[in-house]
């Protein structure tokens, strides 16, 4: 695997070596004090850990290989991230399902908040906010609700065939339109137009570059040098800050545009007869404590946007490999 580290990052990474080395040493000392043995795992290089040995596109192949050598529960360090790889369904169920109260969490990614991606609630740490988002999400997307979406899916399936025949060049947009239309209608009661819909364009603009920006190298850099987000625009090294700001703007637009659409339609009464995840919950919010309203609204916006992200990624992952950045 080749790590595509650009020149700025390489220089900054050089400066960061000493910081990380000090950290690694502290960690080592702490571990000795805890005396808790780690599971076996591959030998790790200083600073890099095992990042160079992990297949970046199909990491599970590497983990399976290591599983044969080190067992079903193995310890890996990748850059400064410490990971435990679970290679058996039995252990996964015992830890992640039966003891989910202890093990339900997400790793901290220093790029998440600066790049606006904390809107994706499946990235956020286990806690009250996560539970609220998860509950709102589940109300709309539980398995029993699937049948409700079928008429819309059939209608859109016909449309995508016509679009593919008419305009095969733009197949990427047609797939994005298809995968988003069902969820957009359930979440916002928004009817995507068959071609060039402005909301679909906002989603593509926000998500196609989004995931390629939050690389592990960048996360490590921001974790080590948080001041990189504060350097003035004219200063050397401000490219990370500027790309983070651009990403946050695009992602906020993707989250706000359809949300405002629902609020406006509710205000002028045109959505009264129809329902959607956002409209129903905004109505429910009316009856809540003033103090809880902003928390609830924020959770609702995250749950709604995460549904959009999920539907988009399920069908259209790979956009960044198709020259769309």
Ligand X SMILES: *[C@@H]1O[C@H](CO)[C@@H](O)[C@H](O)[C@H]1NC(C)=O
Contact residues: ligand X, CB under 6 A: 117, 120, 122-123, 207, 210-211, 309, 313
Nearer to ligand X by Cβ, of 44 and 243: the residue is 243
Nearer to ligand X by Cβ, of 24 and 113: the residue is 113
In this structure, are residues 198 and 260 in contact, taking their beta carbons and an 8 Å threshold?
no
Nearer to ligand X by Cβ, of 20 and 307: the residue is 307
Nearer to ligand X by Cβ, of 42 and 209: the residue is 209
Please give the structure tokens belonging to residue 119.
Answer: 């809107």
Helices (H), the chain: 7-34, 59-70, 89-92, 100-103, 128-141, 150-166, 171-188, 198-213, 216-224, 239-267, 277-286, 293-316
Nearer to ligand X by Cβ, of 129 and 313: the residue is 313
* In the complex, minimum distance from the CB of residue 98 to ligand X, in angstroms, rounded to a whole number: 22
Nearer to ligand X by Cβ, of 49 and 209: the residue is 209
Q: Which residue has the tokens 């290679």?
A: 87
* In the complex, minimum distance from the CB of residue 27 to ligand X, in angstroms, rounded to a whole number: 25
Burial of residue 317 (CB within 10 Å: 0-12, 13-18, 19+) is exposed
Nearer to ligand X by Cβ, of 81 and 313: the residue is 313
* In the complex, minimum distance from the CB of residue 163 to ligand X, in angstroms, rounded to a whole number: 25
Q: Which residues pair with 78 in a beta bridge?
A: 49, 81
- Nearest CA to 216 out of 14, 79, 59, 50 is that of 79
Nearer to ligand X by Cβ, of 20 and 184: the residue is 184
Question: Which 3 state secondary structure label does DSSP give 78?
Answer: strand
Q: How far apart are CA 194 and CA 196, in angstroms?
A: 7
- Nearest CA to 297 out of 315, 307, 309, 284 is that of 284
Q: How far apart are CA 135 and CA 144, in angstroms?
A: 15
* In the complex, minimum distance from the CB of residue 259 to ligand X, in angstroms, rounded to a whole number: 17
Please give the structure tokens belonging to residue 72.
Answer: 């079903």
* In the complex, minimum distance from the CB of residue 25 to ligand X, in angstroms, rounded to a whole number: 31
CB contact set of 104 (below 8 Å; sequence gap of 6+): 96, 126
What separation in angstroms does the CA of 39 have from each of 15, 69, 77?
32, 12, 12
* In the complex, minimum distance from the CB of residue 122 to ligand X, in angstroms, rounded to a whole number: 4
* In the complex, minimum distance from the CB of residue 112 to ligand X, in angstroms, rounded to a whole number: 8
* In the complex, minimum distance from the CB of residue 275 to ligand X, in angstroms, rounded to a whole number: 26
């Amino acid at each position: 695997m080749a790590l595509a580290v650009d020149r700025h990052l390489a220089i900054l990474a050089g400066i960061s070596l000493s910081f990380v080395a000090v950290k690694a040493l502290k960690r080592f000392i702490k571990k000795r004090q805890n005396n808790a043995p780690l599971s076996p795992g591959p030998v790790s290089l200083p600073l890099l850990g095992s990042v160079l040995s992990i297949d970046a596109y199909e990491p599970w192949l590497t983990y399976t290989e290591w599983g044969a050598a080190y067992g079903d529960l193995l310890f890996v360090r990748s850059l400064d991230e410490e990971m435990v790889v679970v290679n058996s369904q039995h252990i996964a169920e015992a830890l992640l399902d039966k003891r989910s109260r202890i093990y339900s969490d997400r790793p901290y990614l220093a790029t998440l908040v600066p790049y606006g991606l904390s809107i994706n609630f499946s990235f956020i740490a286990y806690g009250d906010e996560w539970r609220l988002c998860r509950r709102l999400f589940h109300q709309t997307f539980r398995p029993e609700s699937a049948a409700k979406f079928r008429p819309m899916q059939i209608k859109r399936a016909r449309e995508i065939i016509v679009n593919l025949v008419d305009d095969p060049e733009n197949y990427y947009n047609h797939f994005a339109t298809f995968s988003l239309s069902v969820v957009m209608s359930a979440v916002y009661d928004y009817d995507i137009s068959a071609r060039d819909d402005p909301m679909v364009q906002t989603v593509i603009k926000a998500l196609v570059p989004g995931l390629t920006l939050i690389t592990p190298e960048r996360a490590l850099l921001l974790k080590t040098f948080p001041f990189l987000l504060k350097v003035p625009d004219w200063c050397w090294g401000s490219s990370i800050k500027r790309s983070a700001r651009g990403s946050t703007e695009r992602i906020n637009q993707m989250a706000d545009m359809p949300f405002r659409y629902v609020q406006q339609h509710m205000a002028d009464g045109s959505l009264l007869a129809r329902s959607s995840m956002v409209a129903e919950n905004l109505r429910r919010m009316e009856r809540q404590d003033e103090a809880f309203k902003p928390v609830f609204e924020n959770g609702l916006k995250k749950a709604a946007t995460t549904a959009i992200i999920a539907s988009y990624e399920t069908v259209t992952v790979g956009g960044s490999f198709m020259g769309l950045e």
